[in-house]
Chain A
Amino acid sequence: MSHLWRRHRHWLAPTLFILPGALLFGVVIILASIETIWVSFFDWDGVGPMQWVGLANYEQLFADPQFYVSLKNNVIWLAMFMLAPPLGLALALLLNQAIAGMKFLKSLFFVPLVLASVTVGVVFTWVYDPTFGLLSLIYGWFGATAPALLSDEHLVSFAVVIAALWPQVAFCLVLFLAGLNNLNEDLIGAGRVDGARGFAMLLHVVLPQLREVSFIALAVTIIGALRSFDMVAVMTSGGPFGSSTVLAYQMYEQSIFSYRFGYGAAIATVLFAVMAVFIAWYLRTLLRPEQETA
């Protein structure tokens, strides 16, 4: 028995360790994804019998004006979320200094990361409230009337993204702070000897060492922007009249409130396809350096 174990453990042990995770991932993620794609070819209310409709759900989706509103909002999310990594880096550089009280300041910047995103959403809804919100108070001091951001179909998405950016910037900040702690002192010293300082130091010595951290920050931010759902649900429920809906929320709304599971699955499949592009890029970049070193 022990002989058998010794002979095979080089592959048996890792397999056993991976098995529970792989099994869970297989059932919850892979199988569920395949089933979602399968369901998208049916007309199904979630309870009754399923009826095969082929590509009809997709045809309806591409003719649905709401779909393009959602898609446009996803692009707004994606574009504005790109601000998170540079802002996070800027804050990290600012906070990464040995000054008294800096630890306390840092912890203040981490606060949004600790809050549940629902809490962040509710707080920002209050800030934006046109009658008693902080924003309207600030405008009031200057004798102006604050715009009702969550009621304006053109501004609402930006207002929601700003709320979502707050924790996202904090997340990037943490990543970059960790990265800054792992900088190679020798390289910085060598750079200093060569006369690099200030911006040149940042650009040519510090940033190249943060390459991997930046990559992770960027990838997580992209995925976070695409799967945005909770903020929209909490702050606007996709409103006013669907103008802040994103694909993930539209999928939820169609499946749960309109009893259209097939249609919802079709939206999910399209979202999956969009994400797959970014995931492919992520995996390619992730695997490439390993191949180089191998």
Chain B
Amino acid sequence: MQRNTDSMAGVALATTRRRFMIGTGAVLAGGLLARPAIAQARELTIISNIGNADQRTVLQRLADEYAKASGVAVTINNMDHEAHKTAIRSYLVVGAPDICFWFSGNRMKAFVKRGLFDDISDLYEREGYKDVLGATTGALTVDDRQYGLPLGGLLWGMFYRKDVFEEKGWTAPATIEDLLKLGEQARSAGMVPVSMGTKEMWPAAGWFDHMNLRIGGLEKHLALMDGKLPYTDASLKPVFDKWEELIRADLFTPNHTSSGWEQAAAALAQKKAAMMDLAGFIKYGFPPDEVDQLAYVPFPVIDPSIARYEDFSLNSIHIPKNGKNKQDARDFLAYFYKPENLAAFLEAESAVPPRNDCPPSKDPLINAAVESMKTVVGTAQYYDRDTDPDMAQEGLKGFQEFMVKPERRDQILERLEGTRKRIFKE
């Protein structure tokens, strides 16, 4: 309809050259004043980084439904998850879509600081998101303004096979002493106690996170992530002491730098390993008919005086500042973010819904995580999401090296401290 009236106006205006010029000027001026109203066919482009086929299907369905109801043509461009991490930096500057997927917290902040994500506090206000999101809003907030909507949360912890534990008569470890004892039992049963694959390095950093949260607590951990605490600080010593003890007790997969997390997860599935530190997506490493054997238990307690803090990473969805159609982008997000739509989208990756009014899930892994979240006092996201990306790169390398050569601890920490000073300009 809009399109027809526009082209008819064009025909009428073209009758004389003079009137055409005036007309064009008026259209241009009008365009500057009220661009959304005069835009011809309304279009919305979304860049997605979703690798999971089921989830893509849900997103496509929601986009189609929205397009039908609103008359806005919605295009989804799918990108490879890893390639997207580098592509986003150029497309946010040149050729931004109207909506894109990303990660909340520090990774989001990097773009907010450069003015590349749109402030959507108005959408939060309009839809009353703060009431249903609660504390989660914090991960999307910079200086009291919101710059994106949280998607599924990944709760990190230890996973094991119920049937194996039942058969051997083991119980899931609650404390680090339990874990060490389980380590002995597993080794004498010919199994690797904790499956570890550090080829992509981040699993080692996750292990550091979880130990540091159990020993040092959240506040110190976040200070370290923000570059405010030196890597050579005395408070980190017990963390590395304990970690070294675990490494020396042969708790982890030998030659873990040769394998990725998928291989490590496969070892758990094949009953070659007893436990593994990961999030709900561990189920991709399992045959579909054995997923129900998976069970979750929080990372073991090390210092009982420290409250329960966990890594809970939140993916997110954003409106780029340089996108063209910000109004429709907001409307689409509002539609996408309806409790039933969001729940359908998150079900496919076993992620914890951020809204408290989503319909209950049928996935036991999601429900275990939701249940467990109730006793969590505070959350970080994950090492390479919480700290500066440059620092993260060196940190990941350092933790991987420590897991192979714990005797090089001082050297590694000195190096990380040098990097921290360079990045956080001390």
Contact in complex: A240, B393 (CB < 8 Å): no
Can you name 17 extra interface pairs (CB under 8 A) apart from A148-B255, A240-B400? A47-B116, A129-B258, A129-B259, A130-B254, A130-B255, A148-B254, A148-B258, A151-B258, A236-B199, A237-B199, A239-B201, A239-B257, A240-B257, A240-B401, A241-B257, A258-B393, A259-B390
B397: nearest residue on chain A (CB-CB)? A241
Say whether A242 faces chain B, with CB atoms less than 8 Å apart.
yes
**A47–B114 contact, CB under 8 A?**
yes
* Any A CB within 8 A of the CB of B173: no
Q: Interface on chain A toward B: helix, strand, loop, or mixed SS?
A: loop
* A257 interface residue per 8 A CB criterion: yes
Within 8 A of B (CB), among A69-98: none
Chain A residues near B394: list those with CB within 8 A: 258
One of B93, B199, B389, B401 near A259 (C-beta < 8 A): B389
Interface residues on A, range: 20 to 34
| Inter-chain contacts of B198 with A (CB < 8 A) | 240
Q: Does A65 lie at the interface of the complex (its beta carbon under 8 Å from any beta carbon of B)?
A: yes
A276 within 8 A of B: no
CB of B404 within 8 Å of the partner chain: yes
Q: Which of B93, B114, B258, B400 contacts A130 (CB 8 A)?
A: B258
**Which of A128, A236, A239, A256 has the most B CB atoms < 10 Å from its CB?**
A239
5 tightest A-B CB contacts, nearest first: A241-B401, A148-B255, A240-B257, A258-B390, A151-B255
> What are 15 contact pairs spanning A and B, CB under 8 A?
A47-B89, A48-B114, A129-B259, A131-B259, A148-B255, A151-B256, A151-B404, A236-B199, A239-B199, A239-B201, A240-B198, A240-B401, A241-B398, A259-B389, A259-B390
B257 with A46: CB separation less than 8 A? no
B89 touches A46 (CB 8 A): yes
Contact A241 B93 (CB under 8 A): no
CA distance A130 to B201 in the complex (A): 18
- From B93, B254, B401, B422, give the contact of A47 (CB < 8 A): B93
Contact status B393-A241, CB under 8 Å: no
The CA-CA distance from A65 to B422 in the complex, in Å, is: 15
Answer whether residue A150 sits at the interface, using C-beta atoms and an 8 A cutoff: yes
- When distances are taken between beta carbons in the complex, the residues of chain A under 8 Å from B393 are 253, 257-258
A151 to B255, alpha carbons, bound, how many Å?
A: 6
Q: How far is the CB of B236 from chain A (nearest CB, A)?
A: 19
Q: How far is the CA of A64 from the CA of B92 in the complex (A)?
A: 32
* Interchain CB contact under 8 A, A258 and B257: no
**Which residues between 241 and 259 of chain B lie within 8 Å of chain A, taking CB atoms?**
254-259
Chain A residue nearest in CB terms to B255:
A148
Chain A positions 16-73 with a Cβ under 8 Å from a chain B Cβ: 46-48, 60, 65
Specify which chain B residues have a CB less than 8 angstroms from the CB of A153 in the assembled complex.
404
Q: For B305, what are the chain A residues with a Cβ–Cβ distance below 8 Å?
A: none
Chain B CB within 10 Å, residue with most, of A129, A151, A240:
A240
> With A and B bound together, what is the CA distance between A128 and B257 in angstroms?
12
A240:B404 contact, CB within 8 angstroms: yes
User: Are B400 and A239 neighbours in the complex by a CB distance under 8 Å?
Assistant: yes
Q: Would B257 and A150 count as touching, CB distance under 8 A?
A: yes
Q: 1/0 contact trace for B386-426 toward A, CB 8 Å?
A: 00011001100110110010000000000100000010000
* Interface size grouping (class) on chain B: 20 to 34
The CA of A253 and the CA of B390, in the complex, are separated in Å by 10
| A residues in contact with B401, CB < 8 Å | 240-241
CA distance A46 to B390 in the complex (A): 13
How many whole Å from A140's CB to the nearest CB in chain B? 15
The listed residue (B89, B258, B415) touching A150 by CB distance below 8 A is: B258
Looking at A130, A241, A257, A258, the one whose CB has the most chain B CB atoms below 10 A away is A241
Alpha-carbon gap, A237 to B199, bound state (A): 8
Asked if B262 is an interface residue, CB under 8 A from chain A, the answer is no
Q: How far is the CA of A48 from the CA of B89 in the complex (A)?
A: 10
- The minimal Cβ–Cβ distance linking A163 to chain B, given in whole angstroms, is 14
B399 CB, nearest partner CB in chain A, Å: 9
| Chain B contacts with A in 91-137, Cβ cutoff 8 A | 92-93, 114, 116
Once bound together, how far apart are the Cα atoms of A151 and B258, in whole Å?
A: 5
| Contacting residues, chain A, for B389 (C-beta < 8 A) | 257-259
Task: Looking at the assembled complex, report how far the CB atom of B423 sits from the nearest CB atom of chain A, in whole angstroms.
Answer: 9
Asked if B200 lies at the interface with its beta carbon under 8 angstroms from chain A, I say yes
Contacts of A256 in B (CB 8 A): 86
Chain A residue with the shortest CB-CB distance to B402: A241
State the Cβ distance, B405 to closest chain A Cβ, in Å. 8
**Please, how many angstroms separate the alpha-carbon atoms of A241 and B256 in the complex?**
12
* Chain B residues near A60 (CB-CB < 8 A): 422
The distance from the CB of B256 to the nearest CB of chain A, in whole angstroms, is 8
Contact partners of B199 in chain A: CB under 8 A: 236-237, 239
Closest to A149 in B: B258
Q: Does the CB pair A241–B404 fall under 8 Å?
A: yes
Query: Per-residue 0/1 for B179-204: is the Cβ within 8 Å of any A Cβ (1 yes, 0 no)?
Result: 00000000000000000001111000
A243 to chain B: closest residue by CB: B401
Q: How far is the CB of A285 from chain B (nearest CB, A)?
A: 39
Task: Bits for B74-95, please: 1 = Cβ < 8 Å to A, else 0.
Answer: 0000000000001001001100
Among B255, B390, B400, contact of A241 (Cβ-Cβ < 8 Å): B400
Q: Give A259 to B86 CA distance when docked, in angstroms.
A: 10
